[in-house]
Amino acid sequence: MTDTSKTPIQFAYWVPNVSGGLVVSKIEQRTSWDIDYNRKLAQIAEANGFEYALSQIRFTAGYGAEFQHEPVAFTHALLAATTKLKVIAAILPGPWNPAVAAKQLATIDQLTGGRVAVNIVSGWFKGEFTAIGEHWLEHDERYRRSEEFIRALKGIWTTDNFSFRGDFYRFTDYTLRPKPLQQPHPEIFQGGSSRAARDMAARVSDWYFTNGNNVEGIRAQIEDLRAKAAAEGRTVKVGVNAFIIARDTEEEARAVLDDIIAQADPEAVNAFGDAAKQAGRASPEGEGNWAKSTFEDLVQYNDGFKTNLIGTPKQIAERIVELKAAGVDLVLSAFLHFQEEIEYFGQNVLPLVRALEDVRTPETV
Ligand SMILES: Cc1cc2nc3c(=O)[nH]c(=O)nc-3n(C[C@H](O)[C@H](O)[C@H](O)COP(=O)(O)O)c2cc1C
194 CB less than 6 Å from ligand 1? yes
Is the CB of residue 277 less than 8 Å from the CB of residue 290? yes
CA dist 260 and 335 (Å) reads 11
Q: State the closest ligand 1 atom to the C-alpha of 90, by its place in the atom list counted from 1.
A: 8
Ligand 1 centroid–CA 120 distance in Å is: 9
- What single-letter DSSP state applies at residue 300? B
Ligand 1 pocket check for 210: Cβ under 6 Å: yes
| 359 Cα: distance to centroid of ligand 1 (angstroms) | 35
At residue 1, the pLDDT reads 39
List of E strands, the chain: 10-14, 52-54, 86-91, 116-120, 162-165, 170-174, 188-191, 207-210, 237-243, 245-246, 310-311, 330-334
Q: Which atom of ligand 1 is nearest to the CA of 332?
A: 1
Atom of ligand 1 nearest to the CA of 282: 25
Q: How many A from CA of 190 to the centre of ligand 1?
A: 8
Domain 10-360 belongs in CATH node 3.20.20.30: yes
Cis omega (within 30 of 0) on the bond before 180? Answer: no
- The confidence score (pLDDT) of residue 267 equals 86
Alpha-carbon torsion angle 132, 134, 137, 140, nearest 10: -80
* Domain range summary for the chain, segments of one domain joined by +: 10-360
Q: What is the pLDDT of residue 364?
A: 45
- What is the 8-class DSSP label of residue 8? P
Closest CA to 68 of 90, 93, 100, 40: 90
Angle, CA 231 vertex, CA 226 and CA 232 arms, to 5°: 95
Distance 200 CA to ligand 1 centre (A): 14
Which pLDDT does position 192 carry in this prediction? 87
Ligand 1 atom showing the smallest separation from residue 211 Cα: 31
Residue nearest to atom 19 of ligand 1 (CA): 123
**Contact between residue 259 and residue 337 where contact means Cβ atoms under 8 Å apart:** no
User: What are the per-10-residue average pLDDT scores of the chain (365 residues)?
Assistant: 70 97 94 98 98 97 88 98 98 98 98 98 93 95 98 98 98 98 98 93 98 96 97 98 98 97 90 75 68 85 94 98 98 98 98 90 48
Do residues 10 and 330 touch, judged by C-beta distance below 8 A? yes
